[in-house]
Amino acid sequence: MSNTKKLSAGKYALLGFQHVFAMFGATVLVPTLTGLDVATTLLMAGLGTLLFHLITGGKVPAFLGSSFAFLGGYAAVRTMAESQGVAGTGWIPYAGVGVLVAGLIYVVISLLFRAFGPSKVMRYFPPIVTGPIIICIGINLASSAVNNCAANWWIAILAVAIIVVCNIWGKGMIKIIPILLGVVGSYAVAALCGMVDFTEVREAAWIGFPIKMEETVFSLFSGANGSLIISALIAMVPISLATMMEHIGDICAISSTVGANFVEDPGLHRTLLGDGLATSMAALFGAPANTTYGENTGVLALTKVYDPKVIRIAACIAAVLSFCPKFAALVHCMPTATIGGVSLILYGMISAVGVRNVVENQVDFTKSRNVIIAALIMSLSLGISFSTAGAIAFQIGSVTISLSGLAVASLVGVLLNAILPGNDYVFGKNQNGDTAMDLGRM
């Protein structure tokens, strides 16, 4: 690693806060968009990062924040739960079961990586499968962004404008945190115009416990809807195919930034294991899935300080912040239009990352197999999601199973890729392609 020089305690703390600042906007945006708890999210981001560092031997300077890839899955589970009479936040434990198992898929894949090596395993998850899946994740969510913008288009447009200006013309740290600046700027203007009710902030305590037991997976032990659990698993688990690719791209990007080969040491099998277990732990307690964050990779490139200890300090700071309900209430009061403006860009960028993955891996669309795979993934995902039913439902005995469009599309894509001849994807030969799945980078 090219820069692990020792720093003073004050500089370590300052750099740690800078990493918190970089990850904060995106990490708290996921629970804001989904209805999960902000405090629990911060706690599990911090603890998940520390767990990742423990499993990887403290070698990889990666921060684990909330994953955007599961947004569509959360929306699908919430819709299914509400259609079956589950009220309030009662859907969160069911989504948690799905994300928990998705994290365990990482564990299985990590074992396969250890046994057979990345190239043989990745052959079954090429860009022609993962790229269209990511495209569909963003498109499926786009309508909700527009609906939120409709609350106040001027505030939404302001959020979009700030993000665009900071990302295109910003320098240094400003370029790294455009989402956070878009949120803060449009939020502040809305507050000055009297559009924000801060009653919840005034009434919130300064110190409180960040975990709500009724939103944890453990709450299902007292009585659960079996069919909803199965439907949540089917909705959430296939998304792990996309997030696994995102993780690999992030590790390749961090390796390139730092000048060390983390794919070899500690190895993708250990980084996947750490990310997967962190995700499963977060899901158990009602927090979003975790993923390695591109924003923090940007901070590494900016500061040239690659010591993983700085990331662990940031993780501890995030965990401490989670014990302040007043802080969480401030995030919860965010104007709907601000959420709409930010998500308008975010959801579109998720789809754009899918396009980038296909382009930078030079997927050959003159091959009929590739056209067929991409066509079926996109038509099934979007067609089912925007159909009248919104899912494919069927009975197995007394249990009703609902398959989301994304779940059906993912399964069909993986199966077709395995069956149809002509799969020529080789992992590791294209650095741009290997890093093209980072959903966290603007």
pLDDT (tens digit, 9 = 90+) per residue, 18-74?
A: 898 888 888 999 999 999 999 999 999 999 999 999 999 999 999 999 988 898 889
Residue type, position 64, single letter: L
Is 316 within 8 Å of 122 (Cβ atoms)? no
CA–chain centroid gap for 41, Å, is 12
Backbone angles phi, psi at 60, to 5 degrees: -100, 120
End-to-end Cα distance, the chain: 25
pLDDT at 415: 93
Residue type, position 190, single letter: A
Better-scored residue on pLDDT, 283 or 303: 283
Is 198 within 8 Å of 333 (Cβ atoms)? yes
Q: How would you write the chain as a 3-class SS string?
A: CCCCCCCCHHHHHHHHHHHHHHHHHHHHHHHHHHCCCHHHHHHHHHHHHHHHHHHCCCCCCCCEEECCCCHHHHHHHHHHHHHCCCCCCCCHHHHHHHHHHHHHHHHHHHHHHHHHCHHHHHCCCCHHHHHHHHHHHHHHHHHHHHHHHCCCHHHHHHHHHHHHHHHHHCCCHHHHCHHHHHHHHHHHHHHHCCCCCCHHHHHCCCCCCCCCHHHCHHHHHHCCCHHHHHHHHHHHCCHHHHHHHHHHHHHHHHHHHHCCCCHHHHHHHHHHHHHHHHHHHHHHCCCCCEEECHHHHHHHHHHCCCCHHHHHHHHHHHHHHCCCHHHHHHHHCCCHHHHHHHHHHHHHHHHHHHHHHHHHCCCCCCCHHHHHHHHHHHHHHHHHHCCCCCCEEEEECCEEEEECHHHHHHHHHHHHHHHCCCCCCCCCCCHHHHCCCCCCCC
Of 403, 409, 375, the C-alpha closest to 389 is 403
pLDDT at 137: 87
d(CA 406, CA 134): 10
Q: Mean pLDDT over all residues of the chain?
A: 89
User: Residue 206 domain-assigned?
Assistant: yes
pLDDT at 103: 96
Which residue range is the domain that position 192 belongs to?
9-116+145-349
Please report which confidence band the pLDDT of residue 282 belongs to, taking 50, 70 and 90 as the band edges.
very high
How many other C-beta atoms are found inside a 10 Å radius of the C-beta of residue 261? 12
Residue 409 has pLDDT above 80, yes or no: yes
Number of structural domains, the chain? 1
Please report which confidence band the pLDDT of residue 405 belongs to, taking 50, 70 and 90 as the band edges.
confident
Q: Which residues contact 59 (CB under 8 A, 6 or more apart)?
A: 260, 262, 265, 266, 308
Is 392 within 8 Å of 408 (Cβ atoms)? yes
pLDDT at 18: 87
Residue 5 has pLDDT above 70, yes or no: no
User: Residue 156 domain-assigned?
Assistant: yes
User: Residue 344 domain-assigned?
Assistant: yes
Please report which confidence band the pLDDT of residue 437 belongs to, taking 50, 70 and 90 as the band edges.
low
Please report which confidence band the pLDDT of residue 285 belongs to, taking 50, 70 and 90 as the band edges.
very high
Lookup result for tokens 């300064």: 206
What is the rounded average pLDDT of the residues 187-206? 94
Query: pTM surpassing 0.75?
Result: yes
Positive or negative, the Cα torsion across 377, 378, 379, 384? Answer: positive
pLDDT digits (tens, 9 = 90+) for 92-132: 999 999 999 999 999 999 999 999 988 888 888 889 998 89
pLDDT at 253: 84
Residue 439 has pLDDT above 70, yes or no: no
Residue 336 has pLDDT above 60, yes or no: yes
**Tokens describing residue 435:** 């890093």
pLDDT at 429: 75
Min mean pLDDT across 36-45, 194-203, 393-402 is at 393-402
pLDDT digits (tens, 9 = 90+) for 214-235: 999 999 988 888 889 998 998 8
How many other C-beta atoms are found inside a 10 Å radius of the C-beta of residue 76? 29
User: Residue 275 domain-assigned?
Assistant: yes
User: Residue 26 domain-assigned?
Assistant: yes
Q: Which residues of 156-180 are buried (b: 16+ CB within 10 A; e: fewer)?
A: bbbbbebbeebbeebeebebbbbbb
Report the share of the chain in percent with pLDDT over 90. Answer: 55
pLDDT at 304: 86
User: Residue 125 domain-assigned?
Assistant: no
**Tokens describing residue 334:** 């965010």
Better-scored residue on pLDDT, 397 or 294: 294
Q: Which residues contact 364 (CB under 8 A, 6 or more apart)?
A: 370
Residue 6 has pLDDT above 70, yes or no: no
Is 341 within 8 Å of 156 (Cβ atoms)? yes
Please report which confidence band the pLDDT of residue 1 belongs to, taking 50, 70 and 90 as the band edges.
very low
Please report which confidence band the pLDDT of residue 2 belongs to, taking 50, 70 and 90 as the band edges.
very low
Residue 169 Cα distances to 173, 210, 332, angstroms: 12, 37, 30
User: Residue 269 domain-assigned?
Assistant: yes
User: Residue 137 domain-assigned?
Assistant: no
